[in-house]
Amino acid sequence: MQMEFAENVPLAPFTTLRIGGPARWFGEAASETDVAEAVAFARDRRLPLFVLGGGSNLLVSDEGFPGMVLRVGLRGIGVVGQDNPTGKNIVSAGAGEPWDAFVALTVEQKHAGLECLSGIPGLVGATPAQNVGAYGQEVSQSIHRVRAYDRRTLAYVSLGNAECGFDYRHSVFNSTERDRYIVSRVEYALTPEGAPAVVYGDLKNHFEHVEPTLSDVRLAVLEIRARKGMVIVPGDRDSLSAGSFFKNPVAASAALPRIAAALQLPEEQIPHYPAGNQQVKLQAAWLIEKAGFRKGYTLGPVAISSRHTLAIVNTGEARARDVIALRDQIVDAVNRRFGIRLEQEPIWLGEPLPRKGI
């Protein structure tokens, strides 16, 4: 064993919410060998193991985590090949690469496919698990292959796009095979000199009379996210958040007349998008606002962002239980008003697991 493991390490500094108790054991992997050693360390001691990325989509219990927390810090970026049928370049990035810096590099090198995902905090390795998406793009549209350590076979494997089981904020990594794989590297199939994706309403409006470049779209996304408090800026209170705290709910189309009746609005005024199988995707932020929550709403030491109702922020001294209290207040209000139950997007780490809203 060459890796070093520390005891009782506070986890709050490793999260964008700045909330959470200590990890019983903590280690940082700089290589694939380190990952295997960390798994062996946890297995030999019968410890639960949690893989930590940038901590931007995480809510840690006040009591912390009684197992092993492994922060994956593998680096390295490069073009490793070409997808012959499509002509796309295969760009590889280590799981520990900061996501936004990687997106910026692909845009600078005029590779299309990730430009709308600018400004999202966290690391590359976390993007396949949640099928990270924003402004009309999801990583599932560009992921070519994921290299990961299989904790079942104790060997590295390579999973193609179809094997990842991608869906909205969903993959095998956070569902059927949760806790099985530790991502070490991700390959993206990107279009050299490709046109940017301008399909989301905010971007269409921004470029109504302009043909934007990839750089134009990246800058526009960063500007829009900043207006909504969805970019981490040191010293900005709204940055102490986990980004979007609730998933946009998918409901049966029959929910639309129920919501319209509750608000005495025509159905066409309810923001929604087709989701297949007679279902629609609704906007969680809109539902939260219509349930009576305003931007800046405060409950003790936590608040709804002053810029976006989808984010819960730590106003300075919050604990996990404070976040959960506000979360449950929002979930209950939306459910009572519209019959829609919102689901929490950030991962919960710790025991016991508070079930409401997850």
Catalytic residues: 169, 244, 345
Q: Contact 330/233 with Cβ under 8 angstroms?
A: no
133 strand-pairing partners: 138
- Quote the distance between the C-alpha of residue 353 and its chain's center: 20
> Which residues have CB under 8 Å from 132's CB, separation 6+?
99, 117, 120, 122, 126, 138, 139
Give the relative orientation of helices 320-338 and 255-263 as an angle to the nearest 10 degrees: 90
Helix runs in 189-297, H state only = 201-206, 214-227, 255-263, 284-290
> Which residues have CB under 8 Å from 125's CB, separation 6+?
51, 53, 72, 74, 94, 95, 96, 183, 184, 186
Distance CA 235, CA 258 (A): 42
Distance CA 308, CA 148 (A): 35
Burial 268-292 (b: 16+ CB within 10 A, else e): eebebeebeeebbbbbbbbbbebbe
